[in-house]
Structure formats: C-alpha cells, structure tokens
Amino acid sequence: MRIALIGLPQSGRSTLFSLLVGHEGRTERSGVQLGTANVPDPRLDLLSRMFQPKKTTYARLELADLPPLDPGGGSGGQGMSAAAFLQQVQEAELLVHVCRAFHSDYVPHPLGEVDARRDAQRVEEELILADWSLLSRRLERMAKEISKGDVAKQQEQAVLERVVAALEEGRPVRALELSEAEARTLRPYTLLSQKPCLLVLNVDEEGWSRAGRGEEPFAGARELEAWAEEHRLPSILVSAELERQVEELDPEDRAEFLEALGIKERGLDRVARAAYEACGLISFFTVGEDEVKAWTVRRGATAVEAAGKVHSDIARGFIRAEVCAYDDLVRLGSLAKAKEEGVLRLEGKGYPVQDGEIIHFRFNV
C-alpha cells in the first residue's frame, strides 16, 4: 500500500476514504479496504480544453483504509490493537491521519468528549513509542557487540542515541533535522514516526462555516495547529459530511451548492493533492488528440526514468525528450508556437524532470 488512512473510531476516516475512491474498483485484503483516487489537477483540465482529446487521464493514488486504532481499550471493540495497527502502518509510505473535530449526539466519541488535540497526540504517541522500542533494543544489542575499532558501528550508535533521546522527549523522527549520513543510517529501520504524515481535521458544517468567517473551527484549533507544526504535520480542514452531501448532488448542482457554502475548492481535492506532494511525487504531461495524461514520477526523476513510466520500450530506445514548461505552453497556446519561440527544447537522458512539464519522447527500438 502507498497511502494509509488512519485514526480513532468514529473519526470519519472511512467516510473520507469512500469519498476519495468512490464505489467502483474497491477491494479488501485482510480486513483493509483498498482503492485508488484521482489527483485533481487544474493544469490537466486546461490542457484537456486546449487539445480536446478523446480521453483525459489523471494521476492516481493508491489508498488503504486501515481499521481504527483502539484508544487504550476504550473503543468497546471498535478498533484494532496497537500491535496490529503498527504492523499495518509499517507498509505505508504516507499516513493520512483523520482526526475528529466535530460533535454529534448520534455518533458518540469512544473516549467520551471530543478533543482533537488529544486524539492527534494519541496516534502520534503510538508511532513514537514503537520507534523508541525498536531503537532501544537495537542499542542494547550494540552495546554488547560493538568493538572499539568498529568506527561504522560507533557512528551508527551515536545516531541512534540522538534519535532515541528525541523520541523520549516526544519528538517524532520526521521533526528532526537529519544530515544525509544520518538519514542513510536510519533508512533500514523504516521508522514509523519518520514517515510523512498529513493531519486531516474533520469538522461539521458549523465548524466549516466558522473557518470560512476566519474564526476557530473548533475549540483548541490554534493550539492544535501549533502542535502539528512542531511535529511536522501539515494539516487540512475538511467536512466529510458536507463532502458527502456534495457527492449526492447532480453534477450541475454541485457548483451552486459549493458556492452557497462558501467552498471554493473541495476538501477532497486538497487532501488528494497534499498527499501526492507529501509522497514526494510530481506530474509530467503527455498531450495529443487521443489522450491528455498526467504521469507520476518521484521528484528528481530523470527524463529516461520518466520515459520508462510511459513504456519500457521508450526508455530502452530513448533518444531525446522534447520538453515544454506548462506556463510557456499556456502562454503561447500551442506546441507549434512554443517551438517557433524556442521554448520547446531537447533534453537528454539525465535531465531532471520538473513538475508540470509537457514532454514528448523521441525513441528508436
């Protein structure tokens, strides 16, 4: 799995998952709901209007809706144990923590009172504790095995001791400033609190309205935002219930409904894009009469790696990449004009692809 939706029971996590992936193409594996979601991209929408293709294809995210974490046994059997939860989280590249920030007489909170800061900390503490246990055991073994002449092990020990000290202070690994060498040392451990994490604060309609007026959407929102910033947790405000109402409307009525609610952009779209960026992913585009398509690569990927995403034969027979920046194409209106103006350029295999570029690959096999 690539992106895991996590949280406590009754947080709205599964509602958000259903809205993101829709009802088609969902599968289940070992009690975990799996699906894919489009990554909305206004650049792709504009390119589609320019080229009028038969098909428009968005970048996709792989999502997993993990069963909720049992908050200290207080969920009445609604959630999974910490051990089972942590095992599932281990497989994810990005965590999306859906945190409840709404009150409901019909949906009781498993811990009684609604407290978004407490819930966010509860999940974060589980990740930190798991990492602390793993590294502490490793340090105990190293103390018995390490020799005075083993410089590499001594350096690893120093890195682990620094990280363990931070974990004991309640600081996740993602919040530490690590050198390249330190990050390389930690990589084999796949630490849970080092994984990028997106905090999605799920509010009701009243909370959403308050946010639209520039007020606190829920009690303690500013304190939670400050805490999240310290823990390197980017946060996004959504109202899963409002989003569900929007999805039930006919497409032509949605824009009017969103405008009436003061919603300029759906929370779902912001969640999908933020998750995409948090995974270190970027998009490049291919355009034509048949299809306009967004392709996904890691930030820093080379032109030949991008070619391989389109087809392995293109990478194998790569000659050159014809590259045009998105803004240049939009400004000039066509690839022919871009070529005429000299902004459509040729790049070699090692060229680092930039987000939003339009690329055509020359190849021969």
Q: What is the pLDDT of residues 270-294, one digit of tens each?
A: 888 888 888 889 999 999 999 999 9
Superfamily of domain 300-363: Beta-grasp domain (3.10.20.30)
**How many residues are listed for the chain in this entry?**
365
Among 57-66, 144-153, 337-346, the least confident range = 144-153
Q: What is the average pLDDT across 30-59?
A: 92
Give CA–CA dist 100/104, Å, rounded. 11
Cα torsion through 13, 19, 20, 26, rounded to 10? 90
Q: Is the pLDDT of residue 1 over 70?
A: no
- How confident is the model over 161-190, as pLDDT tens digits? 999 999 999 999 999 999 999 999 999 999
Structure-block tokens of residue 103: 């009150």
> According to the model, what pLDDT value does residue 79 have?
63
User: What separation in angstroms does the CA of 241 have from each of 60, 208, 221?
Assistant: 24, 11, 19
> According to the model, what pLDDT value does residue 74 have?
46
């909370």: which residue's tokens? 207
Segments making up each domain of the chain, as ranges: 3-44+55-114+194-278, 128-193, 300-363
Q: Which residues of 302-313 are buried (b: 16+ CB within 10 A; e: fewer)?
A: bbbbbbbbbeee
Edge-to-edge order in the sheet of strand 55-57: 55-57, 291-298, 281-286, 358-363, 318-324, 345-347
> According to the model, what pLDDT value does residue 143 have?
86
- What is the percentage of the chain residues whose pLDDT exceeds 70? 97
Give residue 262's identity as a one-letter amino acid code.
G
Is residue 10 within 8 A of residue 78, CB to CB? The reply is yes
> According to the model, what pLDDT value does residue 75 have?
44
- Sort 245 into a burial class: Cβ within 10 Å, 0-12 / 13-18 / 19+: middle
Give residue 294's identity as a one-letter amino acid code.
A
Q: What is the average pLDDT across 306-323?
A: 97
Give CA–CA dist 21/64, Å, rounded. 10
Structure-block tokens of residue 315: 């990478």
Q: Is the pLDDT of residue 14 over 80?
A: yes
What is the pTM assigned to this prediction? 0.86
- How confident is the model over 87-116, as pLDDT tens digits? 788 888 999 999 999 988 888 888 889 999
Is residue 239 within 8 A of residue 265, CB to CB? The reply is no
pLDDT averaged over the chain?
90
Other C-beta atoms closer than 10 Å to the C-beta of 150 total 13
> According to the model, what pLDDT value does residue 215 have?
92
Give strand pairing partners of 96. Answer: 5, 198
- How confident is the model over 16-44, as pLDDT tens digits? 999 888 877 788 887 788 999 889 899 99
Give residue 86's identity as a one-letter amino acid code.
L
Give CA–CA dist 354/122, Å, rounded. 38
> According to the model, what pLDDT value does residue 71 have?
66
Q: What is the DSSP letter of 80?
A: B
Q: Is the pLDDT of residue 331 over 90?
A: yes
Grouping H, G, I as helix, E, B as strand and the rest as coil, residue 257 is helix
Q: What is the DSSP letter of 202?
A: E
Query: What is the CATH code for 128-193?
Result: 1.10.150.300
Superfamily of domain 3-44+55-114+194-278: P-loop containing nucleotide triphosphate hydrolases (3.40.50.300)
